[in-house]
């Protein structure tokens, strides 16, 4: 069984192919569990790595897509959503809501509908790399296509 046979990776690959037939999952020999590991494996700027971070917001969840060289700003996220409390989702919540485990959370193919914000700082890169359902799997995409495929709202949500 290869990584492409794993259900979460298949889910991402199916959506990528439906979006654009030439899109594909890239399997890395090394882990891309963190933005630094991914950048090292792909020999790219750490900022070109899309971190998919799930936040618990009142009674729902919001996925924030952040550049690998940035930190999510809870204050900015609170202002954008107009709520008082925001916290990182637990590992169990991440798995139950997205269908992915931490380190392989993809911006697409979630088990539940999730509100998605895309940090505007990702726009500075020609090519972006995002997790594809497993810590050793990524996909390459440009900013405009990332916005289209996720239907995410572009916001300033980093420090």
Alpha helices in the chain (DSSP H): 7-19, 35-42, 74-81, 91-98, 143-150
Contact residues for 26 (Cβ-Cβ < 8 A; gap 6+): 129, 132, 137, 138, 139, 140
> What integer is the mean pLDDT of 92-106?
96
Which one is the CATH code of 3-155: 3.30.56.10, 3.20.20.70, 3.90.960.10, 3.40.50.920? 3.90.960.10
pTM: 0.96
CA distance 65 to 143: 11
Domain ranges for the chain, please list them.
Answer: 3-155
Pairing verdict, β 153-155 and 86-88: unpaired
CA distance 90 to 36: 22
* pLDDT per residue as tens digits for the range 37-49: 999 999 999 999 9
pLDDT-based confidence at 132, cuts 50/70/90?
very high
Q: Which of 33, 101, 109 is closest to 68 using CA atoms?
A: 33
Burial, 43: exposed, middle or buried (Cβ in 10 Å; 0-12, 13-18, 19+)?
exposed
């Amino acid at each position: 069984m290869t990584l492409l046979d794993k259900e979460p990776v298949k889910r991402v690959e199916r959506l990528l192919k439906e979006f654009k037939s030439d899109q594909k999952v890239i399997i890395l020999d090394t882990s891309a569990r963190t933005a630094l590991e991914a950048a090292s494996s792909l020999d790219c700027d750490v900022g070109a790595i899309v971190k998919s971070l799930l936040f618990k917001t009142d009674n729902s969840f919001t996925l924030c897509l952040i550049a690998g060289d940035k930190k999510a700003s809870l204050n900015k996220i609170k202002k954008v959503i107009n709520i008082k409390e925001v916290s990182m989702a637990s590992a169990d919540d991440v798995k139950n809501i997205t269908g992915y485990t931490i380190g392989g959370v993809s911006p697409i193919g979630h088990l539940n509908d999730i509100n998605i914000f895309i940090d505007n700082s990702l726009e500075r890169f020609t090519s972006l790399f995002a997790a594809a359902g497993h810590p050793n799997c990524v996909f390459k995409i440009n900013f405009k296509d990332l916005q289209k495929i996720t239907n995410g709202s572009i916001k300033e949500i980093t420090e």
